[in-house]
Structure 1
Amino acid sequence: MKPTLLILAAGMASRYGSMKQIDGFGPNGETIIDYSIYDAINAGFGKVVFIIKEEFVDNFKAIFEPKLKGKIETDYVFQNFDLKQFGIEEEIYREKPWGTAHAILSGRNAIKEPFCVINADDYYGFDAFKKMVDFLTTEVTDSNYSIIGYQIGKTLSEFGAVSRGVCQVDASGNLTEIVERTKVYPKDGAIFYEEDGEEFPLDYETPVSMNFWGFTPAVFPITEELFVKFAEENKDKPKAEFFIPLIGEKLVKSGQASFKVVPTANKWFGVTYKEDKPFVQDSIDQLIKSGAYPENLWN
């Protein structure tokens, strides 16, 4: 059975200022998602599931269905604020969605096979998709998951701080710890993260998570249990987010699962800020010139 690609596309894009998930960056208006799905199809994925807000479903279908028909199976699931589906009766006020790990739960009824999770607004490169397919078809088990590890120096924005899941890896290449650093930035030729007003340096090749995770459906009930606890503990914190690295950390520390950190030297790029757009457009143009992609992706 071919693995499934689960795309996180329900974020509010508060820093970017518009719906970057369907913004055009390629020469014919291709979105970053287009390049991810193109790579996923060529790598061997069999289905793509979009996690979106329900009010955007018509937009997404109009953009992607004509391109993908006959190439890969598609499905759409919705991330929302309804907590009753998790047995939480209390109304909890939120300013934004509950986060990436909560979003994964939206796909629990649509996915029955090994799958990977990616962000809609990140460019990952074919190498990462091929390595993930290889893992999901030969190595994955209910207690052996994976994460694609990018070099932090190849993942930063020139226009502001970014969040990165910084990975600690043992001698066998397995994750021992992942810490979400919410303010990472380049400065004077070096890389730093900020915590409690202090700066700390990071090595250029430090492996980080760009939310490219490989799982089996066994992760869904575990995630739901963790989310219910998180929601109850953070009901008075309307900006608290349930990040995917929290799942990884819990499973690793409890011994329930291991995570193989699969390294890639690919350069990541994405659109955290509006100012990132020209850089992303130029990066895609260079990839087309190098022969990585055809100029017209789907024709």
Structure 2
Amino acid sequence: MKPTLVILAAGMASRYGSMKQIQSFGPDGETIMDYSIYDAIRAGFGKVVFIIREEFAEQFKAIFEPKLQGRIATDYVYQALSSFTNGRNIPADRTKPWGTAHALLCCKGKVNEPFAVINADDFYGKDAFAKAYTFLTTQCNEHTYCIIGYHLKNTLSDNGTVSRGVCEVSADGNLTDINERTKIFARAAEGDIVYEENEQLTVLPANSLVSMNYLCFAPGYINLAEDLFEKFLDEQGQELKSEFYIPTVTKHFVQSGKGVVKVIPTSSQWFGVTYKEDAPGVQASINALVAAGEYPASLWK
């Protein structure tokens, strides 16, 4: 059975205003998501599942169905605030759903094979998809998951600080811990990378492996997320801004002894639009890849 690619896209409407305003970066108007799907197809993935908000479904399908028809199977999952809350009272002022692990939980019944999950608006690169496909088809099981790890130096922005999940990795390449570090930036004068916390600067090795939300799981991960979501709602469900994250479930999987999460390094350069000023750089980077022959000038023609 071919693996599935799950794309977290439920938050895109709030960032872009509407689905029709997804920013174009490629020479023929391609979005970042187009490049991820193209890389997934050539790596060997058999299906793509989009997690979106139901109110944007028709607009979304109108954009992606014509170009993907006949190339890869597609399916859709709708993430809503009430999904899997089992009749609990939700704070009246809360409008956003419950985060990335809740989004994956909404795939229950739709994804029943090994799968990778990515963000819609991050550019991950060809090598990352090849590594993910190999893992999903040769090593992935209910006791062995993986994170595609990016070297920290390949994930920074020139236009401000970034937040990254910094992985602690054992000698045999397995995740032992993952810590969210905020306010990471490069210091040109010192030639190093630091993060700021409590007004203190701490140096991070440039080759530290970080999670960019590219992870590979067996379908049992969704059941684990469901169990932990119940606990999350009991403890944090009345907080207006609480979120149930994929790294939280992944960390529990490791530290409760349920299995191992391999951290598989990729040589790919990550691109993303953390700040609006990042957009020209992303476009230039994609154009350079096209010029080098990594991608055709038009992905879908």
* TM-score normalised by the chain length of structure 2: 0.94
**After the TM superposition, which residues 142-153 of structure 1 pair with which residues of structure 2 at under 5 Å, given as runs?**
142-153=142-153
Residue in 1 that maps onto 2:264: 262
Residue in 2 that maps onto 1:69: 69
Aligned residues: 297
The structural deviation recorded for 1:56 is 1.3
Aligned pair in 2 of structure 1 residues 254, 159: CA closer, same or farther (>3 Å)? same
Unaligned runs of 5+ in 2: none
Residue in 1 that maps onto 2:123: 123
Q: 1:207 aligns with which of 204, 209, 221?
A: 209
Give the counterpart letter for 1:257 in structure 2: G
Q: 1:99-136 CA distances to partner (integer Å, 9 max, x unpaired)?
A: 11111112122111100000000001111101111111
Q: 2:231 aligns with which of 226, 229, 232?
A: 229
* Distance in 2 of aligned mates of 1:106 and 1:148: 23
Residue 172 of structure 2 corresponds to residue 172 of structure 1: yes
Give the counterpart letter for 1:181 in structure 2: R
Q: CA RMSD in A?
A: 1.7
Residue in 2 that maps onto 1:89: 88
* Distance in 2 of aligned mates of 1:12 and 1:38: 19
Give the counterpart letter for 1:292 in structure 2: E
SS of residue paired to 1:107: coil
The structural deviation recorded for 1:78 is 0.9
* 42-51 or 154-163, larger mean C-alpha shift: 154-163
**After the TM superposition, which residues 233-252 of structure 1 pair with which residues of structure 2 at under 5 Å, given as runs?**
233-252=235-254
* Distance in 1 of aligned mates of 2:185 and 2:243: 21
Q: 1:154-182 CA distances to partner (integer Å, 9 max, x unpaired)?
A: 00112222221110000110101011223
SS of residue paired to 1:136: helix
**After the TM superposition, which residues 1-299 of structure 1 pair with which residues of structure 2 at under 5 Å, given as runs?**
1-11=1-11, 18=17, 22-83=22-83, 85-92=84-91, 93-188=93-188, 189-299=191-301
* Distance in 1 of aligned mates of 2:187 and 2:231: 38
Give the counterpart letter for 2:35 in structure 1: Y
The structural deviation recorded for 1:17 is 5.8
* Distance in 1 of aligned mates of 2:109 and 2:187: 44
The structural deviation recorded for 1:12 is 5.2
The structural deviation recorded for 1:11 is 1.5
Q: 1:21-70 CA distances to partner (integer Å, 9 max, x unpaired)?
A: 83211111100010000000000000000001111111211111111000
* Distance in 2 of aligned mates of 1:96 and 1:157: 27
SS of residue paired to 2:250: helix
The structural deviation recorded for 1:190 is 2.4
Give the counterpart letter for 1:146 in structure 2: C
The structural deviation recorded for 1:201 is 1.6
**Residues 81 and 95 of structure 2 are in contact (CA less than 8 Å); yes or no, is this contact kept in structure 1?**
no
SS of residue paired to 1:250: helix
* Distance in 2 of aligned mates of 1:71 and 1:219: 27
The structural deviation recorded for 1:18 is 4.4
**Residues 12 and 96 of structure 1 are in contact (CA less than 8 Å); yes or no, is this contact kept in structure 2?**
no
**Residues 32 and 122 of structure 2 are in contact (CA less than 8 Å); yes or no, is this contact kept in structure 1?**
yes
* TM-score normalised by the chain length of structure 1: 0.94
